[in-house]
Amino acid sequence: MKIAFIAHDRKKDEMVNFVTAYEDVFQGHEMYSTGTTGQRIMEATSLRIHRFMSGPLGGDQQIGALVAQDELDLIIFLRDPLMAQPHEPDISALLRLCDVYGIPVATNIATAEILVKAIDRGDFAWRDLVHKYKPGIEE
Ligand SMILES: O=C(CO)COP(=O)(O)O
């Protein structure tokens, strides 16, 4: 699977703890992140993650481009709902693309917990069918 991690500043500790706790589940998957989030995760774990730009410098949009190209199966995006972000339009654009393409996206730790257990159980097998048949997007 192809998984992306993104966390706003006040959620980074939570993200690091989460990924550390489930490191064995994430091992072996192809992983992406925004700049600082990926750096923090790699400092704390043995996971290798392809890091894009930092969010405010375009990282959310780079991950959005992967969604548009059907190159991501899951996004864990721990957003800070109590702090305004200078790049809010980029964040909205990424979440919109997830809805356009039906990409599972967890925006809080409770949903992230459920989805990581779903990976472990093989519940993401339907993504293989999506890749296989790739229906066109309705306009
Ligand atoms: O701002 C972000 C997502 O919107 C995250 O970017 P960083 O991982 O570089 O802090």
The confidence score (pLDDT) of residue 125 equals 86
Asked if residue 33 has pLDDT above 70, the reply is: yes
Instruction: Decide: helix, strand or coil at residue 5.
Output: strand
Ligand 1 mean position to 55 CA, how many Å? 4
CB 34 within 8 A of CB 51: yes
The confidence score (pLDDT) of residue 129 equals 83
- Predicted TM-score of the model (pTM): 0.94
Express as a percent the part of the chain with pLDDT over 70. Answer: 96
Which residues surround ligand 1 with Cβ inside 6 Å? 6, 8, 34-37, 54-56, 59-60, 85, 91
> Would you say the ipTM is above 0.95?
yes
Reading the block at residue 132, the tokens are: 């296989």
C-alpha 131/C-alpha 125 separation (Å) is: 10
Nearest CA to ligand 1 atom 2: 55
The confidence score (pLDDT) of residue 138 equals 60
Average pLDDT, the chain: 95
Residues serving a catalytic function are 60
Lowest mean pLDDT among 37-51, 58-72, 114-128: 114-128
**pLDDT tens digit string along 56-100?**
999 999 999 999 999 999 999 999 999 999 999 999 999 999 999
Domains and their CATH numbers in the chain: 2-133 (3.40.50.1380)
Ligand 1 mean position to 38 CA, how many Å? 9
C-alpha 76/C-alpha 31 separation (Å) is: 11
